[in-house]
Amino acid sequence: MGKESIHTEKAPAAVGPYSQGVKVGDMVFVSGQMPVDSKTGEIVEGDITAKAEKCMENVLAILAEAGMTADNIVKATIFLTDLGDFGQVNEVYASFFKDSYPARSCVEVSRLPKDVTVEIEVIASK
């Protein structure tokens, strides 16, 4: 079973030796997405809800390139630099799902790349 790199201009380009996503069989592994605008390369303005929303939009753009949607997400991991933001991020995150939610972990970390406050990665399956 081979692997295929997923790339879309609708999400920020990888800034290191990694792919936006990797497809293996019926599964897609999306790298952690930060609240970065793919057109400008800049971190989006606004509060934690705007930043979490942009993270999810970037995740979904990569999944769309692989022919998947939020309904295909089976596992998500959310990284926050302040667990006090959990409630607001949780509300934004929940708004991207219709019926059943994927498995999820949420952890507080001391720092994230570009000093962002939130990053989200997912695993999806057809």
Domains of the chain: residue spans and CATH: 3-125 (3.30.1330.40)
Query: What pLDDT digit, counting tens, does each position of 38-61 carry?
Result: 999 999 999 999 999 999 999 999
Residue 16 CA to residue 25 CA, distance in Å, equals: 24
Structure tokens that stand for 60 in this block: 């979904």
Catalytic (active-site) positions: 106
pLDDT of residue 99: 83
Instruction: Quote the pTM value.
Output: 0.96
